Chain A
Amino acid sequence: MKDKFDTIGKSIRKIDSLGLATGEEKFTDDFDFPGKQNLLHLAILYSPHPFAIIEKIDTTDAEKMDGVVDILHYGNTSRVLYTSAGQGYPEPSPYDMVLFDKKVRFVGDRVAMVAAETPHVARAALEKIYVEYRQLEPLFDMEKALNPDAPKIHNDDEYMPIPSVYDISKNLAAEVRINFGDLEKGFSDADFIIENTYSVQYANHCVNEPHSAIAYFDERGRLIIISATQVPFHARRITSKLVGLPIGKIRVIKPRIGGGFGAKQEVLLEPLVALVAIRNKRPARLVLSREEVFVSSRTRHPMRVKLKTGVKNDGTIVALDMDALMNAGAYGSHALTVLANAGSKVLPLFNKIENINFVGRTVYTNLPVGGAYRGYGATQGYAALNQQIDIIARKLGIDVLEYIKKWRIGEGETSPVFEALGEGKEGVKQFINSCKLDECIDRGAKAIGWYEKRDKRIRNGDKVRGVGVAVAMQGSGIPRVDMASAYIKMNEDGSFNLHIGATDIGTGSDTILAQIAGEVLTVPVDKFIVRSSDTDLTPFDVGAYASSTTYVSGNAVRICAQKIATQIISVAQKLLDCDEENLILDNGMVRNIETDESITFERIGYYAFYEQDQFQIQAGASYYGTESPPPFIAQFAEVEVDTRTGQVKVIKFVSAVDCGKAMNPKLAEGQVEGATLNGISYALWEDYKFDDRGRMLNSNYSDYKIFSAADLPDMETIIVESYEETGPFGAKSVAEIGINGPIPAIANAIYDAVQVRLFHSPFTPEKVLEKIQNKK
C-alpha cells in the first residue's frame, strides 16, 4: 500500500469546471453542427390512454401542413424488438419494445413523431394526427399483476435475450430466487419473529438538463449523434440495430451532460433522431420538455418488500425471508438487474445469517417505465432492511449501532449471496478486502450526537426530535461484466493525450482519471489532454453506471499509464546508458537512483520522436473487473416531528463513507452530498401522483417538489478512508451509495421521536399524522 501520493487524494479543480462556470463548455443542445440551418425539429405524440390498440392512424391532414417533413408511426417504421436499457450485450433486460408500436402501454407511450421545419410546426402537426384507439382494460396495481385474470400487457414475440425467467402470460418481467440453509428450521429456532411490509415509490431523476440528442451527417456521409448519454458505446450499438446502419457508420459523441443518475443510461432519443436523419438526409434534433422527462422517460422502480426475520435473544438472525415485488411499469428496462440488486447489494451486509430466502419478481403495469436510478435496487432493499434492523435492536433492548457492528460483514469475510446473485447471471464469489464501517458508525454517531439524542425525545412544544441510522454498501462496477479501456500517447514536450471511453456525467471522472494517470507518470493533471466518450476517438468503455468509473475505468487508466512508464524508462535507459532497474519516474523526469542523474520527459519525447529508433510512446489498456469491492456508509438523520401537523423536518444529516482512498476528496464529498439530498427529498416529498386512468398529475416542479437550497438541512459528510488493494491507488466507488440511507435513517429517526413506524415512503405529513393519531 502506497501512503504518499502526489496527485491522488488532492482536491484538484475539476478540469471542466471553469469552462462550465463561464458558460464555455457545451451541452448537447448548445452545438453548432454541419447543416444546422437545415435542421429538422421533432415532436412526439404520446398516448393519452394507459392501454390501447391503435386501430387507425391518419396523418393526412398533418402531412399537408406547411413545414411538415416526415411523420413516423408503427405503419411506416420497422418492428425491431429491443430494450432501451443501455447495458452490455446481450442486455439483461427484456426485448419488449419497438420504436413505434401498434399497442400503447402507458399514458406517455410513443404513438407517432413529427419532423418539421420549426418546433412550432412540429408541435402543431401533432394536433392534426387522428388516432383511433381501442382501449383495453389497464393494470395499475402491481400486486394484481400476477393474478391469472389480470390484463396481459405484452405480446407473444417479446423475449428475454439471456437465460432468465420471463413470462408474459403472467406479466412477469423478471424473477430471481436464492435460497440458503433451511429457512423453516431457522424460523423454528427463533425466539421471536419480526415481519413487516415496506414500500418505496416512483420518483424521477430530475436531471437538470432534459434528455437531448442531435443527429447529422459528416462530410463523408457518416451519421454523427451528439447525445446526453451515460452510455455512448451502448447507444451506438443499440441505435445501429434499430436504424439498420452498421456500427462503423455511426459515431456517438457525449459532450458535457447535465446530470445522469441513471436517467441517461437509457437509449431513448438516439434512435429517433438517427431514424429521422437517415430517412430525410437532414439533421434532426430532439430535446424533451420537463413534462416529457417526467412522464415518458424513466423513473425509480417502485418496490414492495416483505421482510420476515427470525431472531434469537442473543441477537442472531437465524432466518431471513425477503419477498420483493417490483413495478417495471410498461416496459422492463433494468427489470431484472435492479431487482437482483435489491438482494445482492443488500443481504451480504449482514452476512452471518445462515438461512436466507430471497424471492424477487418484477411485474409489468400500465404505468411509467422504471429504469436505472442511482442506488439501483439497493436503495429499495435498504429502505426495508435498515428499518427491520432498528426494530430488532429495539426489541432486543440494545443500541442499534452496537448491533450493526456485531453482525455486519467485515474484512476477510464473504457472503454466499455474492456468488449466487449477479446482474443478469450468477454472481462472483468475493471477499471483503476493506471495510471501515465501524469507524463510519463511530464518527457519524459523534457528529450527530447519537448518545446525547437517541431515545431522548427532546420536545419543544408540539415538536419532538429523534435520531435514526442506516447503513449500506454498494459495489464498484459489475464484476466479470464491465470492461473499460484507455489509451495514452506522449507528446514531445512531455504532455499526454489521455483518451478514455469513460463517461463523465458531471461526476468529475475526466479529472479523476487524469489524476490516476498523473500519479503513475508523476506529472500533474494539467499535463493531460483528456478526451472522453467519443466512439470514434476513444476506446470502449461500458459507460457511467454501476458505480464503475473510478474503479474499473480507473484501473484501465492505471495499467495504461504503467505501460507508458515502461516505454519512457526504456528510452531513458538508452539516453542515460544504465540499468533499467535503477530508473524511476520522478516529478516528470526519469531519475537514476544510483547516480541521481535525471532527464526530463521532454528530452525523452524529442529523442523518441526525432533522434533514434523513432517511435510514438503510446499504449492502450483494458480492465475487466473480477471483483466489485463495496464501499460502506453509515448515515444518520436527526428529525423534528411536528405532532400537530405531522410535518417531518430533517434538522441534521450525517453521512460517513468508506470509499477506499478518496481520489479527490472534494469530488467524493460532492457525490455523497448530492446523492444524500436526493435521497432526503425522495424520503419526504417525491412521488408520482396518478389519476384513475394512470395519467401523471404532477409532471412539473411546482407539483413535483424537489429540495432546493432553502430546504437544505445541516449536512455533514465524513470521508473515512480505507485502502482497497484491488482498486486504483486504493479506490472504491462513491457515487451511488449515499442515496441508500435517507429513507430508513429518517424513518428510524421518526420512530425515535414519536414511536410510530412509517413503512411506506414518502413520509408526508398526512401519513405521519395518521400514524400519530392512530397510536393515541
Chain B
Amino acid sequence: MNGTFIINGNSRNFTFPSDATLLQVLRENGYSEVKEGCNQGECGACLILLDDELVNSCQVLAGSAIGHKITTIKGIGDIHNPHIIQDAFVESGAVQCGFCTPGMVMATYYLLQKNPMPDDNEIKLALSGNLCRCTGYVKIIQAVKLAAERIRNEG
C-alpha cells in the first residue's frame, strides 16, 4: 500500500504492507518518539493524535489513516521550544525512564484541550490508559496540574 499522511504538519508519503499498523509505519519511518510497549492497545505508549482524536497507534491500520493529520510528541514541542506540558513533566520529576512519557504527554495534551481545569479524578481517568511502572503516577498527576495552571495563566 501507499499513502500520504500529514505528520506534525508535514506531508509524508510511505509504502507499507496492507496489514501494517500506524505505529509500525511511523516507527519504521523515523518517528521513533512513538513507543511500542505492548502492541495490544493496553499501555498507551503509542498514543498519538489522529486528526483531533487520541488513539493508540498500534490499534489503527495505517491504511485507514491515509490522508489524515497525525500529531506525535515532536509535533507539540521540541527540545529548543518545548511545550508547557513537556516542561511541566520535566520540572515535576514526572519523567523517570521516560518510555511512557510520549504517551502521557499526548494524553495530557488531549485532556487539557478538552478540559483546561481538570481535578485529580479527571486527570487520573484521562491517564488510565497509560501504564507507567516507574513513577507511581504521583508526579505525573502533579505535572498535569502544573501544566494546566500554566496554560490557563498564559491564555
B-binding residues in A (CB < 8 A): 11, 13-14, 16-27, 29-30, 120, 205-210, 256-261, 287, 289-290, 505-508, 666-667, 669-670, 673-678, 700-702, 706, 708-710, 712, 715, 717
Chain B residue nearest to A30 (CB atoms) is B32
Interface: B86 (CB within 8 A): yes
Nearest A-chain residue to B89, judged by Cβ: A21
Interface residues of B in 110-130 (CB under 8 A from A): 123-125, 127-130
- Residue contact A17 to B42, C-beta cutoff 8 Å: no
In the assembled complex, the Cα of A209 lies from the Cα of B37 at a distance in Å of 6
Residues of B within 8 A of A (CB): 17, 27, 32-40, 42-43, 45, 72-74, 77-79, 82, 86-87, 89-93, 95-102, 105, 123-125, 127-141
In the complex, the answer to whether B136 meets A715 with C-beta atoms within 8 Å is yes
A11 and B79 contact, Cβ closer than 8 Å, known pairs A21-B101, A678-B133: no
CA separation between A210 and B27, bound complex, in Å?
15
- Flag if A709 contacts B141 (CB, 8 Å): yes
4 more A-B residue pairs beyond the given contacts A208-B134, A258-B99, with a C-beta to C-beta distance below 8 A: A259-B133, A674-B136, A678-B133, A700-B40
Cβ B90 vs Cβ A208 within 8 A: no
Q: Given B77, B123, B128, which contacts A22 in the complex, CB threshold below 8 Å? A: B77
Given A21-B90, A23-B72, are A209 and B99 neighbors across the interface (CB < 8 Å)?
A: yes
In the complex the two chains form, what is the Cα distance from A505 to B130 in whole Å? 20
Say whether B78 contacts A712, CB under 8 Å: no
- Name A677's closest neighbour in chain B (CB-CB): B136
Tell whether, in the assembled complex, residue A706 and residue B93 are in contact, meaning their CB atoms are under 8 Å apart. no
* Complex-state Cα separation, A505 to B133, whole angstroms: 12
**B38 with A700: CB separation less than 8 A:** yes
Q: Which residues of A contact B27 (CB under 8 A)?
A: 29
Centre residue among A667, A676, A710 by max chain B CB count within 10 A? A710
Pick the residue among A257, A506, A667, A715 that contacts B138 (CB under 8 A): A715
Q: Which residues in B have their C-beta under 8 angstroms from that of A701?
A: 38, 40, 42-43, 131
**Least Cβ–Cβ distance between B24 and chain A, in angstroms:** 9
CA distance A23 to B95 in the complex (A): 12
Contact B134 A21 (CB under 8 A): no
Can you report 5 A-B residue pairs in the complex whose CB atoms are below 8 A from each other?
Answer: A19-B79, A21-B73, A669-B93, A700-B38, A706-B133
The dominant DSSP class at the A interface is: loop
Instruction: Choose from B36, B93, B127, B130 the contact partner of A667 (Cβ within 8 Å).
Output: B93
In the bound complex, residues from chain A placing their C-beta under 8 Å from that of B138 are 669-670, 673, 712, 715, 717
Residue of A26, A507, A677 contacting most chain B CB atoms (<10 Å): A677
Residues of B within 8 A of A715 (CB): 136, 138
What number of A-B contacts does a CB cutoff of 8 Å give?
187
Of A209, A289, A669, the contact of B35 (CB 8 Å cutoff): A209
Q: Known: A677-B136, A677-B137. Contact between A21 and B97, CB under 8 A?
A: no
Q: Which of B40, B42, B77, B90 contacts A14 (CB 8 A)?
A: B90
> CA A702 – CA B42 in complex, angstroms?
7
From A120, A256, A667, B97 is in contact (CB under 8 Å) with A256
A678 to B35, CA, bound (A): 22
Q: A708 contacts B127, CB within 8 Å? A: yes
Given A17-B90, A19-B79, A208-B37, verify A259-B134 contact (CB < 8 Å): yes
Q: How far is the CA of A11 from the CA of B72 in the complex (A)?
A: 29
A149-B132 Cα distance, complex, nearest whole Å: 45
Kindly name the residue among A678, A702, A712 whose own CB sees the greatest number of chain B CB atoms within 10 A: A712
Please measure, in the bound complex, the distance between the C-alpha atom of A14 and the C-alpha atom of B96, giving whole angstroms.
8
Known A23-B72, A258-B99: A670·B93 in contact at CB below 8 Å = yes
* Interface hub of A17, A257, A505 (most chain B Cβ within 10 A): A17
CB-defined contacts of A210 to chain B, threshold 8 Å: 36-37
Contact B123 A21 (CB under 8 A): no
B77 surroundings in chain A (CB, below 8 A): 22
Contacting residues, chain A, for B33 (C-beta < 8 A): 22-24
Contact A666/B37 with A21-B86, A261-B133 known, Cβ cut-off 8 Å: no
Q: Report whether A290 and B37 are in contact in the complex, using a CB–CB cutoff of 8 Å.
A: yes
Q: Tell me the smallest distance from the CB of B127 to a CB of chain A, in Å.
A: 4
A629 to B91, CA, bound (A): 30
Q: Is the beta-carbon distance between A20 and B98 smaller than 8 angstroms?
A: yes
B136 and A708 within 8 A (CB): no
Contact B99 A259 (CB under 8 A): yes
Inside 8 A of B140's CB, which chain A residues have their CB? 709
Of B91, B99, B136, the contact of A208 (CB 8 Å cutoff)? B99
Q: Considering the complex, give the chain B residue whose CB is closest to the CB of A505.
A: B97
For residue A717, give the distance in angstroms from its CB to the closest CB of chain B. 7
- Please tell me which one of the listed residues B92, B129, B139 contacts residue A708 in the complex, with CB atoms under 8 A apart: B129
Report if A712-B137 is in contact (Cβ < 8 Å); known contacts: A22-B86, A23-B74. Answer: yes
B134 touching A670, Cβ below 8 Å: yes
Q: Which residues of A contact B39 (CB under 8 A)?
A: 289-290
CA distance A670 to B93 in the complex (A): 7
Q: Which residues of B contact A19 (CB under 8 A)?
A: 79
A670 touches B128 (CB 8 A): no
Q: What is the bound-complex CA distance between A678 and B137, given in angstroms?
A: 11
Alpha-carbon distance A506/B94, docked complex (angstroms): 11
In the complex the two chains form, what is the Cα distance from A19 to B97 in whole Å? 11
Closest Cβ neighbor of B77 among chain A residues: A22
Contact of B133 among A22, A208, A666 (CB under 8 A): A208
Check if A23 sits within 8 Å of B102, measured CB to CB.
Answer: yes
| A16 to chain B: closest residue by CB | B98
Check A506 against B96 for contact (C-beta < 8 Å): yes
Contacts of B82 in A (CB 8 A): 18, 21-22
Residue from the list B40, B86, B87, B96 in contact with A674, Cβ < 8 A = B96
Residues from chain B with a CB closer than 8 A to the CB of A29 are 27, 32, 36
User: Would you give the shortest CB distance from B94 to chain A, in whole angstroms?
Assistant: 8
Distance of A6 Cα from B89 Cα, bound (Å): 24
Bound form: Cα–Cα A290–B123 in Å: 26
Contacting residues, chain A, for B123 (C-beta < 8 A): 709
Q: Is the CB of A256 within 8 A of B98?
A: yes
Taking a contact as CB atoms under 8 Å apart, the answer to whether B102 and A208 are in contact is: no
Give A16 to B141 CA distance when docked, in angstroms: 20
B74 contacts across to A, CB distance below 8 A: 22-24
List residues of chain B with CB within 8 A of the CB of A256. Answer: 97-99
* Cβ–Cβ < 8 Å partners of A13 in chain B: 90-91
Candidates B78, B91, B124; contact of A710 at CB < 8 Å: B124
